[in-house]
Amino acid sequence: MAASQNYDVIVLGGGVNGAGIARDCARRGIRVLLVEKNDLAKGASGANTGMIHGGIRYLRYDVHTTKMACTDSGYIQRIAPHLLFRIPFIVPVMKPKDAHFSATLADHLYLEGAEIFFEAYDEYQPLKRGKPHTRLSKAEALALEPGLTDDILGAVTMDEWGIDPFRLVVENAIDAVEHGATVLTWHDLVGFQKDNKGAVVGVDVEDRVSGSKATYTAGVVVNATGAWGPRTAALAGGWYQLRPGKGVHIVYSHRISNFGLVMTGVDGRQMFLMPHENGSIVGTTDDDYYGDLDNPRATEDEVKYILQAARVVFPAIDKYRMSRTYVGIRPTLWAWAKNEDRLSREHEFYDHAPQGVPGLISVAGGKLASYRQLAEEVTAEIAQRLGNRVACTTHSAPLPGAEDAIDVDAWTKDLPKRHRLAVSRMAYRHGSRSKKILAVVDDDPRQVVSTCLCEPVCEAELRACIKGELVRRLVDVRRRTRQSMGACGGTRCLARTSQLLLEEAQLTPAEQLVELQGAMTARFTGKRPVFEGANLATEELNQAMHFLGANLQPFFQAARVACDDVAHRRAEAAPADAPVTRLLALVAPSVIIPAPLPEDRR
């Protein structure tokens, strides 16, 4: 066990709430440690719809959440303009199927009702720099998006702000580090330290990569572990409840439309079909979840449920090839006898002192769009306990990359055309700090070459992220740069990226191969629910390239044997393993060796 290190506050959980709290604390001069058992934004903070939106659907039953989300959306635009992009939405008004009065009157009432609702939402638009709604006739709506169903009366427009949620979390964490915070990723919480009165005074953690252990102490410990929160609190003797909600999205690796479309599921749930980054997203579900929080998987039923809703407003959806799915588990506030879709999206935090566990605070609920407000409230409580009177600045202080204006044209004017897209995409992710990354290209022009055609990422950006953005494993690089999120799913880029990780992180060749296997498996998991038709044939080809063309099959067979051996020896309390076998054990639960697929899936 390493020597104890002391902080003012320890934050558990590297999602957007935890990173936001760490940033606010660090900016107030509070000594803060952030501990995350996986990578930053590994949970619901990364697996969401990717919007800093105003929550229009909450306007029907939770107006305060709509106002709070719109307000914080405005603040996020101020502190991270380089991460945001406007998404125009078309909200189709469908023909009534069971009107009991004249069709003409029903049509009129439906359109008027939609406009009245959006007029109410317009009251909050200035808070997030949104545009007021526009009413469209049927002809106007179909002219904008010919793929819409003919079974509409008209439509209403609105707009929301898209964002890369991974970058938002990472940049909050980086800003925290630059103001004195310590961030530990891939560290398991082993237990809590308590004094003789039962107060929480610290944590014991274990590095999942190196195997080293350490104890850290602090006057306050904040449990911001999302859906894992009740489990984390129970480890210290605390208690609270959540209603974890499972949200499934389908990803298309290309644009289906340049407009977002609002659609409704068979159960009445509002969902979106929208452009995002270089592709499209459709979703999301919202179902109570009782399964494994560490390995949530989408099912074929959930995919069909989402597609059913999409077909109603966009009948041509089946002509497009699904790429993959992803799943997030929302830490929704507890309520009994309420439909999942009606649960509050507000946030709360619990002081466990009345339960006999002083020193521990748990955070529950919240939305991506209002993370900053949550962080400010929690940090204000921490600051009061510590006697810190420094004001919050997270609503005005720029995140990394937003310090200066961005001039992409000036950066790319001397580059060959084939490299300009990668640099433009880098500017979206890194803002004004892209200029520092590009300075490396002046000395080594080869580093401007894109490593993949699906999601243009140049080698210089990959190296910069590995060295300066809290990257420890190959799967972390995906959340910094979107590498392997494109159509190839990593087939054409992960091998090269693993070589860069080997060089910058000084891995052994064996460790590099283990990292490559883990990253490939992570990509495969999200694809399984959409394996049908051409998708299945494409994935079989991708697997052949991975495991046969790259001649990695013998290694992965050996890896599985080694993983089984590691698990057996750990069960017998064996000494700490060498780094490579520890890494093997880390990917062991998800090692996938391709096997012949059933005939009914071919």
Q: For the segment 377-391, what is each residue's pLDDT rounded down to a tens digit?
A: 999 999 999 999 999
Residues 364 and 459 in one domain: no
pLDDT exceeds 50 at position 466: yes
Q: Which residue type does 15 have? A: G
Q: Which residues contact 511 (CB under 8 A, 6 or more apart)?
A: 502, 579, 580, 583
pLDDT exceeds 70 at position 355: yes
HSE-up of residue 555 (Cα within 13 Å, Cβ side):
18
Residues 216 and 189 in one domain: yes
**Contact criterion met (CB below 8 Å) for 67 and 368:** no
Give pLDDT, residue 343.
81
Residues 120 and 98 in one domain: yes
Q: Give the CATH number, domain containing residue 231.
A: 3.50.50.60
Residues 597 and 557 in one domain: yes
Residues 157 and 174 in one domain: no
Please state, in angstroms and rounded to a whole number, the distance separating the CA atoms of residues 127 and 285: 28
Query: Which of 15, 528, 47, 55 shows the shortest CA–CA distance to 247?
Result: 47
Give pLDDT, residue 570.
46
**Which of 148-152, 197-201, 507-511, 523-527 has the weakest average pLDDT?**
523-527
Could you tell me the sign of the dihedral formed by the alpha carbons of 212, 237, 384, 63, in that order? positive
pLDDT tier at 288, thresholds 50, 70, 90: very high
Give pLDDT, residue 298.
94
Q: Which residues contact 53 (CB under 8 A, 6 or more apart)?
A: 69, 73, 160, 161, 369
Please state, in angstroms and rounded to a whole number, the distance separating the CA atoms of residues 154 and 156: 7
pLDDT by residue (tens digit) across 237-250?
Answer: 999 999 999 999 99
pLDDT tier at 360, thresholds 50, 70, 90: very high
> How many of the other CB atoms lie within 10 Å of CB of 573?
6
Higher pLDDT, 507 or 32: 32
Question: How confident is the model over 186-195, as a mean pLDDT?
Answer: 97
Helices (H), 366-413: 371-386, 408-412
Please state, in angstroms and rounded to a whole number, the distance separating the CA atoms of residues 344 and 333: 6
Query: Which of 35, 340, 357, 23 shows the shortest CA–CA distance to 194?
Result: 357
Residues 248 and 113 in one domain: yes
pLDDT tier at 476, thresholds 50, 70, 90: very high
Residues 472 and 589 in one domain: yes
What does the mean pLDDT of the chain come to? 86
Query: Which of 589, 537, 521 shows the shortest CA–CA distance to 560?
Result: 589
pLDDT tier at 127, thresholds 50, 70, 90: confident
Q: Is 39 helix (H, G, I), strand (E, B) or coil?
A: coil
Residues 28 and 173 in one domain: yes
Q: Is residue 19 part of a domain?
A: yes
pLDDT by residue (tens digit) across 39-63?
Answer: 999 999 999 999 987 667 677 767 7
Higher pLDDT, 267 or 119: 267
Query: Which of 272, 277, 271 shows the shortest CA–CA distance to 253?
Result: 277
Residues 352 and 305 in one domain: no
Give pLDDT, residue 574.
41
Q: Which residue type does 141 have? A: A
Q: Is residue 59 part of a domain?
A: no
Question: How confident is the model over 21-40, as a mean pLDDT?
Answer: 98
DSSP 345-368: --EEEEE-GGGT-TTEEEEEE--G
Please state, in angstroms and rounded to a whole number, the distance separating the CA atoms of residues 395 and 372: 8
Please state, in angstroms and rounded to a whole number, the distance separating the CA atoms of residues 504 and 184: 19
pLDDT exceeds 70 at position 108: no
pLDDT by residue (tens digit) across 557-570?
Answer: 555 555 555 445 44
Helix/strand/coil (H, E, C) string of 573-588? CCCCCCHHHHHHHHHH
The tally of domains found in the chain comes to 3
Q: Is residue 516 part of a domain?
A: yes
pLDDT exceeds 60 at position 445: yes
pLDDT exceeds 80 at position 395: yes
Q: Which of 331, 352, 373 is at the close of a domain?
A: 331
Q: Which residues contact 211 (CB under 8 A, 6 or more apart)?
A: 576, 577, 579, 582
pLDDT exceeds 80 at position 600: no
Q: Is residue 89 part of a domain?
A: yes
Residues 541 and 486 in one domain: yes
pLDDT exceeds 70 at position 35: yes
Q: Give the CATH number, domain containing residue 294.
A: 3.30.9.10
Give pLDDT, residue 196.
93
Question: How confident is the model over 189-207, as a mean pLDDT?
Answer: 96
Please state, in angstroms and rounded to a whole number, the distance separating the CA atoms of residues 93 and 71: 28
Q: Is residue 362 part of a domain?
A: yes
- Residue identified by tokens 């004195």 is 180
pLDDT by residue (tens digit) across 396-438?
Answer: 999 999 998 888 888 777 777 777 888 888 999 999 999 999 8
Give pLDDT, residue 377.
96
Q: Is residue 438 part of a domain?
A: no
Question: How confident is the model over 483-488, as a mean pLDDT?
Answer: 86
Residues 555 and 577 in one domain: yes
Question: How confident is the model over 509-515, as a mean pLDDT?
Answer: 88
Exposure of 602 by Cβ count < 10 A (0-12 exposed, 13-18 middle, 19+ buried)?
A: exposed
Query: How is residue 216 written in tokens?
Result: 């850290």
Percent of the chain residues past pLDDT 70, beyond the cut: 85
pLDDT exceeds 60 at position 97: yes
pLDDT by residue (tens digit) across 571-588?
Answer: 444 444 456 666 666 655
Residues 225 and 322 in one domain: no
- Judging by DSSP bridges, how do beta strands 213-223 and 5-12 pair with one another? parallel
Q: Is residue 349 part of a domain?
A: yes
Percent of the chain residues past pLDDT 90, beyond the cut: 58
Helices (H), 80-102: none
Q: Is residue 425 part of a domain?
A: no
Q: In sequence order, what are the beta bridge partners of 347? A: 365
Structure letter (DSSP) for residue 204 = E
The residue range of the domain holding 291 is: 85-162+244-331
Question: How confident is the model over 191-203, as a mean pLDDT?
Answer: 96
Question: How confident is the model over 274-298, as a mean pLDDT?
Answer: 94
Give pLDDT, residue 337.
86
Buried b (16+ CB within 10 A) or exposed e, 230-268: bebbebbebebebbbbbbbbbbbbeebbebbbbbebeee
Question: How confident is the model over 132-155, as a mean pLDDT?
Answer: 93
Please state, in angstroms and rounded to a whole number, the distance separating the CA atoms of residues 66 and 76: 15
CA distances from 335 to 211, 234, 323, 367 (A): 40, 20, 35, 17
| Strand runs labelled E in 174-224 | 182-184, 187-194, 200-207, 213-223
